Structure 1
Amino acid sequence: MASVLFLMYSAVSLRLHQRMLTSSYDLGIFQQVVRSYAGGHLPVSEIKGEDFPVLGDHFSPILALMAPYYRMWQTAQTLLVAQAALLAVSVVPLALWARRALGPAAGAVIGACYGLSWGIASTVGYDFHEVAFAAPLLMLSLTAFGNGRMRAAASWALPLLLVKEDLGLTVLVIGLLIAWRGERRIGAATAVAGLAGTALALFVILPAFNPAGTFAYWSLVEGPAAAGGSPAAGGGQGLLDVLHHATIGLVTPEAKISTFALVLAPTLFLALRSPLLWAALPTLLWRFSSSNTLHWGTGFHYSLVLMPIVFTAFVDALVRRGTRGRGLRRHLAGSAAITLLILPSFPLFQLVQPDTWRTDPRVLVARRMLAVIPDGATVQASDHLVPQLADRTSAGLYGALGARPDPQWIMVDTWVPAGRRWWPGQPLGAEAEQQHLAADLRTAYDLVDQEQGYVLLHRRA
């Protein structure tokens, strides 16, 4: 099952990249991060800004594990295949637990429903993300918990501190669950480590590396706390405001309720009967308290960490209820039906769409023009062109604030549809971009090539 899922995930993500449907945010950024680690230095990203230290943006040192592989295969495809492998292998502990506890049919159905779940599909269909490492770690931790192996549950949870700064709060909840199950010392130590890890990342490490001297995303927290730039700026009242708005955010607007319902739907809402579902609370709180509406919905990678939690909670609930026979078959059939009903709305369904396997002639034009740009050059390019260049050049997003001035090369797609000009997209906008290109041509750049809407410029010596 894991092998089949790996092939499916790889096919979707690699095909999107071949069709130039990947983006600078986030595949391009993570290429530059892993490329930095592979070069033996702390990660920087030209896409975020000239020599921007990425450890001041998000705390994800676990990405250094990919450096040896990237040194052997220095392409974006390395990241996409690695992500597919991490997601696919996470099905193994779940399917084995379900098979052992509920029988072979349950192992097969629940494993398949998890592997085809919309949260994983959304992740596969949108670039590469560091939270791919969280899927197997969470699954190993929570299945160990479900089997009464509390020390293993804690051991697999602790590396989440290296995946992303918010996951320390998930480790905190897992520690509290372990303590609740009777292993108080292990649980308390795990909870303290989780809370301390998140606090250290948010208030010490990230501000130390960030040029602005603060965690960059406090401003996304709705309410008065955001006005000061950090909850710490407002003291205890600021933290209370964050909690208040996070709580209100769980029920308004309707998009949040829809996402929450869709998270639980493949489990027939039985996940609500398991204490394991508490591990989803930190992720739901930060997402639903955010002022960024993209965090509320079902797109991108934001629901990935919820999938291992809800499906382990599903198995745990079935085991606790002692579900067997006809009742178990009914629950399995319901879960499979909902999974298949949702599947066409998410990227895995692209595997059976003819357009997925057709190549736009413009892609061939773009590749020919990209090949003109030499390795090691400094470049500014359109959003979907940056990931094609990030493995061999110093590539930034054309027209973005903080981009390296006067790059050696500029390549812009002037035919990018308006629908793809959302943030970060093309910061200049279509009309301003044309004016900016015209100004570049008049001043310091020569026109090297122009075809099918692509414009390639080279800075004069």
Structure 2
Amino acid sequence: MQAPPISTTASAPREAAVEERETDRSRDPAAGRRIPWWIWGLAGALFVSYAALSVRRHDMLLSHSFDLGIFEQAVRSYAEGHLPVSEVKGPDFPVLGDHFSPVLALIAPLYLLHPSTDTLLVVHAALIASSVIPLALWARRTLGAAAAVVIGLCYGLSWGIASAVGFDFHEVAFAVPLLACSLTALANDRLRAAAYWALPLLLVKEDLGISVAVIGLLIARRGDRRLGIVTAVCGVTGTLLAMTVILPAFNPSGSYGYLMWLDGPGGEDGGLPALLHKLTIGLITPVQKITTLVLLLAPTLFLALRSPLLLVAVPTVLWRFASSNEVHWGTGYHYSLVLMPIVFAAFVDALVRRRSAGGGVRRYLAASAAITALLLPQFPLWQLVQPATWRSDHRRDVADSVMDLIPEGATVQASTHLVPHLVSRTSVSLYGWADSRPYPEWIMVDTRVPDHLRWPQSAAEEKFKLRSAVKKGYRTVADREGFVLLERPSSASGTSLGPEDS
């Protein structure tokens, strides 16, 4: 459905409402800037929920080397005063050759104060929770306090945010408050503020420049053509510069590695016919893609389609559905995080338009709350009320005692769920990953990982490689509750394991 144009002439009821608000602000200049305590309380409650789930999952050995280990190694690099590298990606792999996310440097001062994975998880929770504030304020000004509470909760508990909170840390969390502030400003004709909030997205991730360009076009259509065009040009230029110059310059391959997502299902280049298929019928097949679209819009009862703000979501949806990587198509992981503030900003905008035209909004808010509640048990935030989440596990204490045997600064290969627990004090890479640094000083493996959580190798492959390492001279230092720790003999530091061993 085509989104309607943004009208530069407001309806009479809307003009009256704006005039009334301006009169109130003239009496009290701080009134327009004041954030009610209950909005702070709502954001605070969401922050505590997000942080509790993330930290608890990490403590339960459910966090991952990809991507939490990579991001912590990048932040640790910034904290140590050099450009980011990640041993998880490969020996001294330059992270700025993987994704262009220099915004991660902002976490470095906090990491210096508390060098721990928990620092990243808490920052992640704070960034996401803060994004509810501009949306709730906007809803309060235009729809009333009750509507603001409903929208704040539906947004904060939405499945896209829940999936991201349940999957460690990702740099796109920085984009969420920026998008919420930019789109709120845009819808309220604060066009310069909309541009200022959008432009930092260029430092979050390389693909977000296209979203900046769409915001620029909306600014131009809203009335400030010059500002809009400049913003759009900056967005496109930033993406092109990152993908064609900066990332290839840092990447050891000399290219932007993620263009492979446009290849065929098996990674092969299908040429122009395959590309045309991807950009046409391939955008809605298989049905998983349609399901994701329906779930994106369902909490708004598809009312978000009536707002031009929803156009900002188009670039992210297009690259995801054109990708050959199946995980991009669904509702898992963190891939829908940046879409949620866009969808709910469009929802608020559409509700404001409907109310200005004399239509009711209560049933939309009630239905949104019902749909959010219906979806909530299917996504990670529901784990907060599950007894198993808070049950103590003796194996966790054993894992700590075994990891404590590894000295600081050592080179280590570890199982994917152990990697984040070793990043802050060792040079750790992923056991079983082909690009990991060969022949590390230590190997630590959790042999009891369930098959559905095991990656990147099967239990049989892991067992074979552990036996091979012992044959090469590694000695078993610990074997407790399924946690196996091997140490390389110091006299063999110049030896190299074969590919089948490392």
Q: Does 1:175 align with 2:216?
A: yes
Deviations 1:196-230 (A, max 9, x none): 00000111111111111111111111459x7569x
- The within-5 A match list for 1:45-194 is 45-194=86-235
Selected match of 2:247 from 200, 206, 218? 206
**Gapped regions of structure 2 (runs ≥ 5):** 1-41, 491-502
Q: In structure 2, give the amino acid aligned to 1:419.
A: H
Q: In structure 2, give the amino acid aligned to 1:359.
A: S
Q: Does 1:436 align with 2:465?
A: yes
Deviations 1:15-58 (A, max 9, x none): 00110100101111111000000011110000000111111111
Selected match of 1:366 from 389, 392, 399? 399
Distance 2:281 2:219 in 1: 28
Conserved in 1, the CA contact under 8 Å of 2:263 and 2:269? Answer: no
- The within-5 A match list for 1:185-264 is 185-223=226-264, 227=268, 242=275, 245-264=278-297
Selected match of 1:412 from 418, 423, 445? 445
TM-score, normalised on structure 1?
0.95
Per-residue deviation, 1:324: 8.5
User: Matched residue of 1:337: which SS?
Assistant: helix
Conserved in 2, the CA contact under 8 Å of 1:449 and 1:456? Answer: yes
Distance 1:405 1:363 in 2: 27
Aligned to 2:14: none
Deviations 1:119-165 (A, max 9, x none): 11101000100000000000000000011111100110000000001
Aligned to 1:313: 346
Per-residue deviation, 1:360: 2.3
Selected match of 2:300 from 262, 267, 278? 267
Distance 2:477 2:358 in 1: 70
Distance 1:351 1:6 in 2: 13
Per-residue deviation, 1:406: 1.3
Distance 2:213 2:268 in 1: 28
Distance 2:283 2:460 in 1: 39
Distance 1:409 1:336 in 2: 51
Q: In structure 1, give the amino acid aligned to 2:409.
A: G
- 4+ aligned runs moved over 4 Å, structure 1: 226-229, 240-244, 323-326
Per-residue deviation, 1:326: 8.2
User: Matched residue of 2:257: which SS?
Assistant: coil
Q: In structure 2, give the amino acid aligned to 1:434.
A: K
RMSD across aligned positions (CA): 1.7
Distance 2:164 2:358 in 1: 35
User: Matched residue of 1:303: which SS?
Assistant: coil
Q: In structure 2, give the amino acid aligned to 1:14.
A: V
Aligned to 2:431: 398
Q: Does 1:291 align with 2:324?
A: yes
Deviations 1:163-193 (A, max 9, x none): 0010001001101111111110000000000
Larger C-alpha radius of gyration, 1 or 2? 2
Q: Does 1:451 align with 2:484?
A: no
Aligned to 2:61: 20
Identity of aligned residues (%): 64
User: Matched residue of 1:404: which SS?
Assistant: coil
Distance 1:170 1:359 in 2: 44
Per-residue deviation, 1:419: 0.9
Deviations 1:275-329 (A, max 9, x none): 0000000000000011111000000000000000000000111111226898211
Distance 2:279 2:168 in 1: 28
User: Matched residue of 2:361: which SS?
Assistant: helix
Selected match of 2:456 from 426, 435, 438? 426
Distance 2:296 2:67 in 1: 24
Conserved in 1, the CA contact under 8 Å of 2:354 and 2:361? Answer: no
User: Matched residue of 2:310: which SS?
Assistant: helix
Deviations 1:375-426 (A, max 9, x none): 11110000000000011100000121121111111001112121112xxx23
Q: In structure 1, give the amino acid aligned to 2:440.
A: P
Per-residue deviation, 1:271: 0.2
Conserved in 1, the CA contact under 8 Å of 2:163 and 2:332? Answer: yes
Aligned to 2:500: none
TM-score, normalised on structure 2?
0.87
